[in-house]
Amino acid sequence: MTPIWDAISTLFRENCYLSATTTVGGYLLALSLQKKFKTTLFNPVLVALFFTLIALQLFNIDYETYRRDAAPITFLITPATICLAIPLYRQFELVKANWLAILAACSVGTVVNAVLVWLVARAFQMEYVEYMTLLSKSITMAIGAGITQEYGGYVAITCAVITITGVTGNMCGTFFLRKFGILNPVAQGLAIGVSSHAFGTARALEIGETEGAFSGLAIAITGVLTVLIAPLAAAAPV
Amino acid sequence: MGYVRQFFVILLFSLVGELLNRLVPAPIPASVYGLVLFFLALETGVVKLSAVEDAGRFLLALMPLTLVPLTVGLIDALDVLKSVLVPALLLGIVGTILTALAAGAVAERLARRRERSEK
């Protein structure tokens, strides 16, 4: 690299606003591309990730530094998630009326997820530890990491798989649901929240308040259900 | 109500959620405690909707963005992910869609049945 470029990247590397600016900028760019081309291909989370990675590479910034500089953004995860209580409160009549659908969808989703993980673990002749590491893939990171820790799995892998799951749900969850005739806002919200936690819920909120409220509710219920069935899954032979 | 005061109320629930997460020996995250308590406060009228609505709308709009730094962490974990890359991708992509479809199909049927019975 030329000395000038070195100087420029040092300037950027030591600037704590670079990480946050590229992340927010990439996110906004994706939103405008999405509007212009009317396709969910430009998924905001994915495009922001892409731009951030380019910036990190370009200015030679390591992940630790990025994480420190992006802390003001990550700081808002809990306050933002808590605000799901607002659509939930507004939609509470609909929630009460659909209690059976909520319980059924969350139970079915939790069990299907566990069975799929078990099947894949068997097919790939996985170690017990790896199997338990993947079990929590569909739930929110805070609970999933806790379960993995409890059963001696690899927390970093759990977080990575939770992310892959989330990005999948965020990007193409609604596409497949629509394809298979799942059109009811309550059902869509539940399906997204059960399968792809907060990442999916972020997308559900974009579709509508009902979808967002039910998706947020499904995160909490599925998380708790997964904690409850984890001992059962742990007892299954792989 | 003023934005700062609205933000304060939301922060307060985050704080309490975080405290419960530390004090209660269960793997339930701070955000779930906070969400439940915040909802109960709204439902019982302890917190009025108008006292949190604007800041809440802003924070909800920010929610997808707050998750981006976590996805960047995925790149850092690629090395450890290598050992289970194929099954992880299979479960993360195909498994997620199948789970969504299974839960969605059940919910769709029950939600429709309820709507019909109401008419």
pLDDT truncated to tens, each residue of chain A (238 aa)?
688 888 888 888 788 888 889 899 999 998 898 888 877 677 888 888 888 999 888 888 888 889 889 999 989 988 998 998 999 899 999 999 999 999 999 999 999 999 999 999 999 988 888 898 899 888 888 788 878 888 888 888 888 899 889 989 988 888 999 999 999 999 999 999 999 998 899 889 888 999 999 999 999 889 889 888 888 888 887 7
Q: Report the C-alpha gap between A172 and A196 in whole angstroms.
A: 11
- pLDDT digit string (tens) for B56-66? 999 988 888 88
Rg over CA atoms, chain B: 20
Same domain, B76 and B113: yes
What per-residue confidence (pLDDT) applies to A159? 85
Same domain, residue pair B40 and B6: yes
- Enter the pTM of the model: 0.85
Name the residue among A101, A118, A133 with its Cα closest to residue A218: A101
**B83 lies in the same domain as B111:** yes
pLDDT at B1 over 80: no
B49 and B100 inside one domain:
no
Based on the fold, state whether residues B74 and B62 are members of the same structural domain.
no
Q: Are A167 and A79 in contact (CB under 8 A)?
A: no
The secondary element (H helix, E strand) that includes residue A217 is helix A209-235
Task: Report the 10 Å Cβ neighbour count for B24.
Answer: 10
**Cβ partners under 8 Å of residue A38, min gap 6:** none
Q: Which residues contact A31 (CB under 8 A, 6 or more apart)?
A: A44
Rounded CA-CA distance B36/B83 in Å is 38
pLDDT confidence band for B25 (50 / 70 / 90)? confident
Ranges assigned E (strand) in chain A: none
- For B112, the domain range is 70-119
Residues B59 and B1 placed together within one structural domain of the fold: yes
Q: What's the pLDDT score for residue B26?
A: 77
Q: How many CB atoms lie within 10 A of CB B4?
A: 8
Q: Same domain, yes or no, for B95 and B108?
A: yes
Is the Cβ–Cβ distance between B73 and A164 less than 8 Å? no
* Residue whose token pair is 């969808």: A105
Cα A122–Cα A124–Cα A126 angle in degrees, nearest 5: 70
Same domain, B51 and B92: no
B5 pLDDT exceeds 70? Answer: yes
Q: Is A37 on the interface with B (CB under 8 A)?
A: no
User: Do B116 and B78 share a structural domain?
Assistant: yes
Q: What is the mean pLDDT of chain B?
A: 90
Q: What is the predicted pLDDT for the residue at A129?
A: 87
* Residues of chain A with C-beta less than 8 angstroms from the C-beta of B90: 120
Kindly tell me if the per-residue pLDDT of B27 is higher than 80.
no
Nearest chain B residue to A118 by CA: give it: B91
Q: What is the distance in angstroms between the CA of the first residue and the CA of the last residue of chain B? A: 40
Shortest CA gap B4–chain A (Å): 14
The rounded distance, in Å, linking the Cα atoms of A172 and A166 is 10
* DSSP 8-state secondary structure symbol assigned to residue A85: H
Res A62: pLDDT: 87
Same domain, B83 and B96: yes
- Chain B, residues 34-93, CB within 8 A of chain A, namely 34-36, 38-39, 42-43, 49, 52-53, 56-57, 59-60, 62-78, 80-81, 83-84, 86-93
In angstroms, rounded to a whole number, what is the distance separating the alpha carbons of residues A146 and A140?
Answer: 10
Distance from CA of A73 to the nearest CA of B (A): 5
**Cα B62 from chain centre:** 13
The residue among A157, A77, A176 whose CA lies nearest residue A117 is: A157
pLDDT of res. B79? 80
As for how many domains chain B has, the answer is: 2
Q: Please report the ipTM that was assigned to this predicted complex.
A: 0.90
Asked if the C-beta of A215 comes within 8 angstroms of chain B's C-beta atoms, the answer is: no
* Listed residues B66, B85, B101: the one ending a domain: B66
Q: Are residues B40 and B83 in the same domain?
A: no
Could you tell me how far CA A175 lies from the centroid of its own chain?
A: 17
Task: Quickly count: other Cβ atoms within 10 Å of residue A185's Cβ.
Answer: 19
**CB of B18 within 8 Å of any CB in chain A?**
yes
Same domain, B54 and B76: no
d(CA A101, CA B63): 26
pLDDT at A14: 80
Closest CA to A199 of A152, A167, A164, A233: A167
